[in-house]
A and B are shown apart, each in its own frame.
Chain A
């Protein structure tokens, strides 16, 4: 095998055979199911007869016309945007602070901040429910101390979803920026300082442009995960504050209107992929202009 790879390149079947098991899995578990779901979204559903295979755009028309769904999609992307913005604003400085720590502190705090990524999302969200629920610790303490008469509402609020989801996803942004800072040449900052730049100026003009790719890719990860998040919005937002993911879940497993659920899922996927493509295109153009090569 090794000898053959060294020889003059000749198209052999070997690499295809090696990737075949993976490709078959992908064809069966990804491509075929996605195609079936796309097809399903054009089917029609009635309470009396269930799913019928006559094709129409009725599901999409319903979603695009109904205020109920407008609210759900606006809430989904509003939430994703808010989570992304907060994550950037707190995660980027935090990565920078970690970068400037001495080795031992840095190792310890990296563990503390990235470690939660290994803990199930349900557990991390439960922390917020315990903390700030109607019967949660904060409300009970405040009521017992007589500081408030009615509990502060956090569960089933938009703010609650954004805070809890930021807690879940922000470590991804720190990780992306941190990985980028690792690759940065520390001499560039030193050079800016020795040439008389103030520290703020050195950070803004020398460090920030270099870590921009990390910040932007971190944003994309956080945004796409937030827009399709299920567990946190389901636990904190509940039935009252539906997002696209929880609405899809309800259509599939409660209302049994699979075609409508499939249409919501397809719209969510298409919007996320469009945003990813546009974002990548914009980032590439931006960086092609500022960094040649």
Chain B
């Protein structure tokens, strides 16, 4: 396997993450999907980072070269962020086949980070077998991460009970694998039962993948092994059945959408920062150009 030039990769990712829309477009180089992407999402405090640390260890032990991209929220007030996910992965951080990158969500409000599509595309030009994307998500966020990954794992905990109610509609049709983490806490069996019941209702006739519900806990090695096995099984399932065009379409659509949202943010920042004219004048001008239609 080609050894990683970590300094070059680290710098490339910073460039991409800080790029304006114009810079992103200039740097776009049709990389083809390379690494198998696994998304891990779930509410804050579900234990995602710790779980990813243990999961990634198994993938590394299997010989894979693995990148983890961990996204933490930015403060909308100060733009600052504490990126602390990798601290839960210390026990594997000495493995040179592992690369961890922490990202702040910045302007993105879909649980991902501003330039995440470009970041993932950049990783595709490096020799990774698998990329694990960690993001906080409840509800809407899963749609976004869904379009960017091959296998989506939703991590819940026994206390997530109330959230399940809210998520039944959107979220439980999104993931490929469900994890009840901290399964030694009371209520774990109940929530697993509820999820299985909802999944059964939602299972489409003729669908060939039935999402498994896996129980994991800090003191339980079997759970992690089961998760590892379930993800591999889904990977094999995709290899045989995926409509790659559909996957590509979803990713391109997400990329386009995020480029547009970033463009709007850039225009907004530029217009509202202009000191040459009053805010009212800027407002009127932007409204006028919206009337004329954008994107034509």
Instruction: Tell whether A pairs with B.
Output: no
Question: Which residues of B come within 8 Å of A, CB atoms?
Answer: none
